[in-house]
Structure 1
Amino acid sequence: MTEPDNTIYPRPRPLIGDASSASERSAAPDSWAFDAQAIQTLDEIISARRDIRRFRPEPVPEELVRLVIESGHKGPSVGHSQPWRFIIVSDDQAREAAAVMADAQRITQATAMTDDRGQRLLDLKLEGLREAPLGIVVACDRRTPALGVLGRASFTGADMWSCACAIENMWLTARAHGLGMGWVTLFDPGELHDLLGLPEGVETLGWLCLGWPDELPPEPGLQRLAWSKRLPLDEVILHDRWPREAAPAQPLNHLRAPGQAQVVSATDDADELLSPAGSLGVLDRCLDRIVAAGGSSIDSGRLVLVGADHPVFAHGVSAFAQHVTRDVMTASVAGTSYGVLSANGAGLDAEVVDAGVAGGLIPGAINARCIDGSQGDLVNTDALTREETSRLVDIGRETGERAADRGLVVLGEVGIGNTTVAACLASALIGLDPEQAVGLGAGSDYDMVDQKVGVVNRALGRAEINRNDPIGLLSQLGGPEFAVLTGVVLGAAGRRAPIILDGYATSICALLAQTAEPGVHGFLIAGQRSREVAHAEILRVLGLEPLLALRMRAGEGVGGAMAASLLLQGLRIRRMAARTA
């Protein structure tokens, strides 16, 4: 075995971008801070910002107007899309038209309030629209589809939020230069849109009055008028989640994902390697996750391969005979199945678990059979009783804890018909239409896919779905190997072991485990994305980018084992690679 090179090399410093090193940032985490005077000045400006309603007639120098707008243009924007457009309105007729619109909207809104509040709204001064020498309308150009902008696909309003950030920058800059700014949103958006001649897909965020202030309010105007007051800080700070008055029906075990310090340490460690940060792409991100979980020294692991049969097979949902489950499990015990050979080739051992294969216990397999013969077909009856499901999950926990001692924990499954089970669970968990959730499986044709869709629809129609109850979902719509593998994820994560997912079924087990214990997520790695279309959707919900995408449909943990091989190589590279100062 080659001894590591202990030579310490000078750290290459990039000529562009961030030239700092992890060691420098670690030695002085606060080195990016401004001096105390600058911090105090910033606090003073923020605290002194006011929504100005009265303005003097003197014009604002053009250079100051540009400074204010430039500060908005320096604001953060989703996907660096810079969706803002700044419309400077100095025309008297346009400003008067805007003032009339705002007056009309004020009366309309006042009629919808209680008498007292309505009168207070009518008392508010809106003459700033007429008095201020100019107005600035921040318009958001939303004509680019959300899917085409980085970061907007899920939070489609992030472009509007970006424009709001620009407005805050402008407001603070105006205050720093002694200018007054007032934000008026008492408009019908369509009327303001037409007044400014905006194209479809461009929206405004109201109207900003800008000018020299003719009032110097020491407190917010609405607070001065007894409309409201600023809440104490402690009343608006929440920790970790929105509080619930009632405790959950089932207490959590408080599994914790890798903390901030561990995550930062993992990326800092990678930064010291003699290679550009992130040079291994998705693999580097997966390695960071393993290192953050404390797995930098891992050099092996275990494939946990769980098999079971399903009565739903009788509904014609598989292209293969049911005995194939038993054949693959028997070959796995013998070490000649695809899954076990892939695991051994990656330097992993394998534990083969029989959770309910038809025909009796597979000789040589770990016995996880605890079903009393009442296993249902999903369409007419539940897959398992709740008690059986809980026992299978507990067996899986113990199995996962054992596997964690070996290093990486790779999930694998065997079960003819289990892609139909997976489709039922996917539809119930994340609301996929059965047509989306059902795939080809191990070789279905058009008619069989149509048959599977019908089975899933009937099963969903019978079940009483509660997405926040993993045990309930598994008992109604799952199967033995799904319950065991869900437990494996929980047990392995409890021991802080990296968990490598394989295909569609194992990813659903991970999502079920994460639903039960959110902290599980910090230990999950998507080994691959299979050919099943719905698998990509499950990974999206999990927030995991797959390491491999080879259109596999083998099951048995094959893709997970191949990914584990890459991960073990990557960990060894990190341990052995030359480092920089």
Structure 2
Amino acid sequence: MIPSQKTGLAGIVIRMVRRMTSIAIARGQAMPEAMTTPMGDGFDQIARDAVYRAIFTRRDVRSHFTSEAIDDEVLARLLLAAHHAPSVGFMQPWNFIVIRDAARRAEVRDLFLAARERELPEIEAERQALYRKLKLEGICESALNICITCDRERSKGSPLGRWHNPEMDLYSTVCAVQNFWLAARAEGVGVGWVSIIEAQALKSLLGIPDQVTPIAYLCVGRVSEFAPKPDLETHGWGRRLPLPELIMSETFRGQGEAPLKSAVARLGTAAGAPASLADQRVAPAVPQREPPKVESALSLSSLNFDEASASLASQAASGT
């Protein structure tokens, strides 16, 4: 460690991250070494481990929600992460409807129950009993709900990236959903995407205008644990497909890429391979308590990650 890293806020952050990583490693949650080898100008191993851990241990949470409230500072960070998602043509078509009212959430749950009954006849007869047993939402149990929408007129005057693919605004909004989800996992917050809702009924209930499309209705809250595997896999509804079978070369169904497929297998994601991070036991979620307020470049009050990062780098270099 260089001397400038031992002092000041930057040094504190580095020591805290290293301690948290040591705990994760002791619990068997570190990424395979082959996946965290140096990659030049990028994150260090600790940061890369954190990114991959968030990806592989993210869950579509339907159960395990606790009664603990979500602090607005935490929610602000999650929404800021969503707002920094990639968007074609920099259109940023998303909006975020925060839903806390218990009565309104009960109405949304009624929409879910009605939609589930309409969906049931479309399920294979031999799977309908299992379908009825599955826990598919946590609308009323979670701390709050968020509906992420796409305003399809926000960038109608700019065809950049949409002239040939007008649905790119929808795809961009999905990227915001993913950013929110991964940031939530890093904060120990569970997220569940409720897709079994009739869109027009939801728009009517939430007063969403015609040109705006609801993309994701999310249940958000602290959880007692993150399951070691997706619920639908645990209950036998499906399994994770072997990645090598999904990799094609040059054309659809094109054969080849044997070295790449072997690399995937070595990382433990191929069927029958040793358990990967996604299959390891995940420690129960620990509620994240807010640290004392510190006036520094790490404060998100300015809502500017770029300035905060530059200032932190300056502090580390100067030893402040």
TM-score (norm. length: structure 2): 0.65
Q: Which one-letter code corresponds to 1:34 in the other structure?
A: F
User: What's the CA shift for 1:144?
Assistant: 4.4
Match of 2:287 in 1: none
Q: Say whether residues 1:94 and 2:104 are aligned partners.
A: yes
Q: Distance in 1 between matches of 2:205 and 2:216?
A: 12
Aligned partner of 2:41 among 9, 32, 37: 32
Could you give the per-residue CA deviations for residues 192-251 of structure 1, whole angstroms, max 9, x where no partner exists?
111110111100113110001144310011100111111111011112221279xxxxxx
Residue matched to 2:35: none
Code of the residue aligned with 1:236 in structure 2: it is L
Q: 1:141·1:202 contact (CA, 8 Å) conserved in 2?
A: yes
Write out aligned runs for 1:9-20 (5 A).
Answer: none
Answering whether residue 273 of structure 2 is matched by residue 228 of structure 1, we say no
The CA distance in 1 between the partners of 2:174 and 2:155, in whole Å, is 19
Rounded to whole Å, the distance in 1 between the matches of 2:237 and 2:105 is 27
Q: CA separation of 1:30/1:48 partners in 2, compared to 1, >3 Å: closer, same or farther?
A: closer
Q: Does 1:207 pair with 2:220? A: no
Does the 8 A contact of 1:140 with 1:202 survive in 2? yes
Q: Deviations along 1:85-117, whole A, 9 cap, x unmatched?
A: 011000111111111111111111111111222
Give CA deviations for 1:519-577 in whole Å, capped at 9, x if unaligned.
Answer: xxxxxxxxxxxxxxxxxxxxxxxxxxxxxxxxxxxxxxxxxxxxxxxxxxxxxxxxxxx
The question of 1:238 aligning with 2:248 is answered yes
Counterpart Cα distance in 2 of 1:241 and 1:147: 35
Q: Distance in 1 between matches of 2:97 and 2:42?
A: 35
Asked if structure 1 preserves the Cα contact closer than 8 Å seen for 2:105 and 2:139, the reply is: yes
Task: State the AA in 1 paired with 2:200.
Answer: G
Q: How does 1:320-399 map to 2 (within 5 A)?
A: none
Letter in 2 for 1:132: S
For 2:213 and 2:251, how far apart are their aligned partners in 1? 32
Which amino acid in the other structure matches residue 77 of structure 2?
A: L
| Mapping of residues 45-444 of structure 1, within 5 Å | 45-54=54-63, 55-144=65-154, 148-243=158-253
- Counterpart position of 2:51: 42
CA contact (8 A) 1:81 1:149 kept: no
Match of 2:18 in 1: none
1:181: Cα distance to partner?
0.5
Q: 1:123 to 1:221 in 2, by over 3 A?
A: same
CA distance in 2: counterparts of 1:231 and 1:114, whole angstroms: 20
Instruction: Give the aligned length.
Output: 217
User: Residues 127, 76 of structure 1: CA spacing in aligned structure 2 closer, same or farther, 3 A cutoff?
Assistant: closer
Return the offset for 1:40: 1.4
* TM-score (structure 1 length as normaliser): 0.36
Deviation at 1:164? Answer: 0.7
- Following the alignment from structure 1 to structure 2, what is the Cα–Cα distance between the partners of residues 164 and 150? 18
Which ranges of structure 1 fall in alignment gaps of 5 or more residues? Answer: 1-28, 246-581
Residue 43 of structure 1: how far off its partner (Å): 1.1
Q: 3-state DSSP class of the match of 1:187?
A: coil
Change (3 A) 1:226 1:63: same
Distance 1:144 1:71 in 2: 20
Range with bigger deviation, 205-214 or 218-227: 205-214
Q: C-alpha offsets along residues 62-84 of structure 1, whole Å, 9 cap, x if unaligned?
A: 11111111110010001000000
- Cα distance in 2 for partners of 1:171, 1:145 equals 25
1:161 and 1:44, CA in 2 relative to 1: closer, same or farther beyond 3 A?
same
Residue-by-residue CA offset, 1:282-317 (whole Å, 9 max, x unaligned): xxxxxxxxxxxxxxxxxxxxxxxxxxxxxxxxxxxx
The unaligned stretches of length 5 or more in structure 2 are 1-37, 256-320
- Sequence identity (%): 35
Matched residue of 2:41: which SS? coil
Structure possessing the higher radius of gyration over alpha carbons: 1
- Give, in whole Å, the separation in 2 of the partners of 1:30 and 1:131: 42
How far apart, CA to CA, are the structure 2 residues paired with 1:100 and 1:156?
33
What is the CA-CA distance between 1:156 and the residue it aligns to? 1.1
Answer yes or no: is the 8 Å Cα contact 1:99–1:126 preserved in 2: no
| Alpha-carbon shift at residue 53 of structure 1 (Å) | 0.8
* Cα distance in structure 1, aligned partners of 2:160 and 2:54: 32
CA RMSD, 1 decimal? 1.9
- Give 1:392's aligned residue: none
CA contact (8 A) 2:137 2:219 kept: no
* SS in structure 2 at match of 1:194: helix
* Residues 213/116 of structure 1: CA separation in 2 closer, same or farther (3 Å cut): farther
* Secondary structure, aligned partner of 2:166: coil
The one-letter code of the counterpart of 2:52 is D
**SS of 1:230 mapped into structure 2:** coil
2-structure distance, mates of 1:220, 1:99? 22
Distance 2:102 2:165 in 1: 38
Q: Which amino acid aligns with 2:55?
A: I
After the TM superposition, which segments of 4 or more aligned residues of structure 1 sit over 4 Å from their partners? 144-147
Contact in 2 for aligned 1:187/1:206 (Cα 8 Å): no
- Note the C-alpha offset of 1:31: 3.8
Structure 1 residue 127, shift from structure 2 partner? 4.8
